[in-house]
Amino acid sequence: MRMPTIRDVAREAGVGVGTVSRVIGGRPRVAPATRERVEAAVARLDYRPSPVARALSQQRTQTLEVVVPLITRDFYVEVLRGIEAALAATDYTLLIRTIERPAERDGVFAALGEGERADGVLIVSQEPPASFLARLGKRPAPVVLVDATHPQLTSVAVDHQAAALRAVRHLLGLGHRRIALVDHAAMPFAQGSPAGRRRGYRLALTEAGLRPRRSDEVVAAFSPFGGEEAVAALLARPDPPTAVFAGSDVQAMGVLAGARRLGRRVPEDLAVVGYNDIELAGYLGLTTVRVPMRELGRRGVDLLVTAIEAPATAPAHVLLTSELVVRATCGG
Amino acid sequence: MRMPTIRDVAREAGVGVGTVSRVIGGRPRVAPATRERVEAAVARLDYRPSPVARALSQQRTQTLEVVVPLITRDFYVEVLRGIEAALAATDYTLLIRTIERPAERDGVFAALGEGERADGVLIVSQEPPASFLARLGKRPAPVVLVDATHPQLTSVAVDHQAAALRAVRHLLGLGHRRIALVDHAAMPFAQGSPAGRRRGYRLALTEAGLRPRRSDEVVAAFSPFGGEEAVAALLARPDPPTAVFAGSDVQAMGVLAGARRLGRRVPEDLAVVGYNDIELAGYLGLTTVRVPMRELGRRGVDLLVTAIEAPATAPAHVLLTSELVVRATCGG
DNA sequence: TTGTAGGCGTTATCAG
DNA sequence: CTGATAACGCCTACAA
């Protein structure tokens, strides 16, 4: 019932363990005949090397750890898919940690580089806490930030500000002068995307000679309901906006439905632009910002694997670009 | 730059490694004063025990492996959330393997119980291949099937047939006599849910004295587009159905939109029932079958952890029940 | 209560 | 080309 070990194989094949190790490691310098004997013994015993023992001996686990916030959101799921896709080409395995509640955050980061459980870490949409950075200072381990940035750490991010700027400029170009921003609240430790979008939004208005109004920036729940509530409130005002830029397609979907429910036509009465370009967006004919979500994950893995395999170089900062996908809801 | 080991701590604290091991393992029988000295040394050195070495020594990795098909679908994401939730209470860690393409399947299962990389395995919505089962016969390892069943393996599943039966019965009770089934194709190695639903659908019709027609069973792409195409084809027939039972909420969403686009009112002209009860369903007012997706994951973890910690007992088979959530689209 | 030695399964080194 | 043997870092007897 015990799993056969390399020693069992060696005995079975009548060779030393070193030779077996060379054979299963696919290393050269072993006589063809010997190799064959060993392979036969491996097959007969159905031997499989222990990844744990190998990891201890080589100081390498062939595992990547990824820290990701609540995996419900399409954004993270897409990033994960990108990570998975990139991983398929390597022989690394994925260890996943999610931070669903802020309280979990400290524990997760404390255990993060913990005793080399993984060869590298991918942190998605989170700002690493100071304690973690301090630890890194002493024993630098390969870490890559995805959809976040930090001067000392390698990262792959998207410029949310530039993306929002472009989206709002497009609406301005269409003649809109009252444009509302409907976004979700920033996550406790990842102000990133909503903050960037807000800056881009304000900048676009300012550029056009308009004064951004705080009352046009609405924070709504991250769901269609949130979007619907927000648009209802906006349209109930004496001077309603003629366009809405939403911080997520999910909220944009609610904006669309809410506007229609109130008898407004889209895009004639209200133009709507979303963010992310999830699968649903195409179906809804939603004009939106296409964020390279999978690419974020893929590049993250590339950078991490490079960092693991190459000697520590200076942190790289990759910035991916988003593009505006014009469909029906903006009237462009 | 080297990570401190238990030996460094022992030297620093002026004790033996055994004592340090006892302290960090939280075991009793160590003098308070000694314990304090050791803890101080641990803090000073910022020592963290190596999970790899511990795993090798204890033959236990404190890791659970989960095999899940394409993580895009809400169903799997929800199951994963359930798994995560249950895991949070334990000190196990998650190793994830996805099977996006059928070709990956063999490789994943071949490497599955491989040399104790994990203490247990959770297989989601997949029928384990014969080769895997054979291996299990020789060296039984804790495995739990989620949303799938096998006589020899512990499992937690939902009765898709019963759920479909109930949903279609409901439509029949509302007076519908032409009810179409719009479902997606079964995955290569997991006929499970579409097959079960089809049986339930047919059974309900038969019970009501109706003859199920093959032409009323439409296989559509797993997307809103798929649902929309399917409903368009159905409504174009000379004798269109008055109700549609969809195999997923995502497709039901397309059915809704497609029907409306063709000028049909829902539920007056066409009743629609979905499946799964994803978040969007509530928003759309979609009547649907609530599948306990998170619960599947949670129970799976419970069963697995039990199997790991208790001696091998007979395989348990847990069957979870779904309920029909009546909202607006069925006219009930 | 505490220290020491042996073992967990591999890989790497180094004679032969 | 091949076989011992010493790490790798920890845990668990066992002895003191």
Chain A contact present for B106, CB below 8 A:
no
Distance from CA of A169 to the nearest CA of B (A): 31
Q: Decide which of A241 and B332 is more confident.
A: A241
pLDDT for the residue numbered B67: 94
What is the average pLDDT across A49-72? 91
pLDDT for the residue numbered B190: 73
Distance from CA of B68 to the nearest CA of A (A): 12
Yes or no, beta carbons of B138 and A46 under 8 Å apart: yes
Chain B residues 154 to 183 whose Cβ lies within 7 Å of strand D are none
CB B30 within 8 A of CB B23: yes
User: A61: which chain B residues are within 8 Å (Cβ-Cβ)?
Assistant: 52
pLDDT category of residue B114 using cuts at 50, 70 and 90: low
* Per-residue pLDDT tens digits for B215-265: 999 999 999 999 999 999 999 999 999 999 999 999 999 999 999 999 999
pLDDT category of residue B116 using cuts at 50, 70 and 90: confident
CB A282 within 8 A of CB A218: no
Q: From the list B117, B139, B283, which residue is nearest A51 (CB)?
A: B117
Distance A35 CA to C15 C1' (A): 22
Report how far residue A78's alpha carbon sits from residue A55's, in angstroms, rounded to the nearest whole number.
30
Residue B71 has pLDDT above 70, yes or no: no
Chain A contact present for B137, CB below 8 A:
no
What is the average pLDDT across B73-86? 92
Residue A1 has pLDDT above 70, yes or no: no
pLDDT for the residue numbered B115: 64
Nearest residue of B to residue A4, measured between CA atoms: B115
Residue B119 has pLDDT above 70, yes or no: yes
* Per-residue pLDDT tens digits for A87-131: 988 989 999 988 878 888 888 888 886 667 899 999 999 989 988
pLDDT for the residue numbered A2: 79
Secondary structure of chain A as H, E, C letters = CCCCCHHHHHHHHCCCHHHHHHHHCCCCCCCHHHHHHHHHHHHHHCCCCCHHHHHHHHCCCCEEEEEEECCCCHHHHHHHHHHHHHHHCCCCEEEEEEECCHHHHHHHHHCCCHHHCCCEEEEECCCCCHHHHHHHHHCCCCEEEECCCECCEEEEEECHHHHHHHHHHHHHHCCCCCEEEEECCCECCECHHHHHHHHHHHHHHHHCCCCCCHHHEEECCCCHHHHHHHHHHHHCCCCCCCEEEECCHHHHHHHHHHHHHCCCCCCCCCEEEEEECCHHHHHHCCEEEECCHHHHHHHHHHHHHHHHHCCCCCCCEEEECCEEECCCCCCC
* Per-residue pLDDT tens digits for A241-299: 999 999 999 999 999 999 999 999 999 999 999 999 999 999 999 999 999 999 999 99
A21-35, A42-56, A110-124: least confidently modelled range? A110-124
Q: List the nucleotides on chain D closer than 7 A to a protein CB.
A: 1-5, 7-14
**Residue (of B65, B80, B156) closest to B119 by Cα position:** B65
Phi then psi dihedrals of residue A174, to 5 deg: -85, 0
DSSP B151: T
Q: Which nucleotide is nearest to A57 (CA to C1')?
A: D8
Q: CA-CA-CA-CA torsion for B305, B309, B314, B319, nearest 10 degrees?
A: -20
Residue A187 has pLDDT above 90, yes or no: no
pLDDT for the residue numbered B1: 60
The answer to whether A59 CB is within 7 Å of strand D is yes
pLDDT for the residue numbered A15: 95
A317-331, B130-144, B165-179: least confidently modelled range? B130-144
**In which order are the strands placed within the sheet that holds A179-183?**
A217-219, A179-183, A243-246, A271-276, A287-290, A323-325
Is the peptide bond preceding residue B241 cis, with omega within 30 degrees of 0? Answer: no
Yes or no, beta carbons of B135 and A46 under 8 Å apart: yes
Distance from CA of B74 to the nearest CA of A (A): 8
What is the average pLDDT across A51-80? 90
Q: List the nucleotides on chain C closer than 7 A to a protein CB.
A: 1-5, 7-14
pTM of the model: 0.93
pLDDT for the residue numbered B136: 81
**In which order are the strands placed within the sheet that holds A143-146?**
A317-320, A154-158, A143-146, A120-124, A63-69, A93-99, B93-99, B63-69, B120-124, B143-146, B154-158, B317-320
What is the average pLDDT across A58-85? 90
Chain B contact present for A89, CB below 8 A:
no
- Picking from B68, B96, B231 by the largest number of A CB atoms within 10 A of its own CB, the best residue to mutate is B96
CB B235 within 8 A of CB B264: yes
Distance A63 CA to C13 C1' (A): 27
- Picking from B60, B70, B283 by the largest number of A CB atoms within 10 A of its own CB, the best residue to mutate is B283
- Write the Ramachandran bin of B276: left for phi over 0, alpha for psi from -120 to 50, otherwise beta: left
Report how far residue A255's alpha carbon sits from residue A63's, in angstroms, rounded to the nearest whole number.
42
* Per-residue pLDDT tens digits for B275-319: 999 999 999 999 999 999 999 999 999 999 999 988 777 899 999
Chain B residues 47 to 106 whose Cβ lies within 7 Å of strand D are 47-50, 53-54, 56-58
**Whole-Å CA distances, A60 to A188, B53, B58, B118:** 33, 12, 19, 17
* Per-residue pLDDT tens digits for B1-43: 678 999 999 999 999 999 999 999 988 888 999 999 999 999 9
DSSP string, B64-127: EEEEEE-TTSHHHHHHHHHHHHHHHTSS-EEEEEEE-SHHHHHHHHHTSSGGGSSSEEEEES-P
Residue A149 has pLDDT above 80, yes or no: yes
pLDDT category of residue B113 using cuts at 50, 70 and 90: low
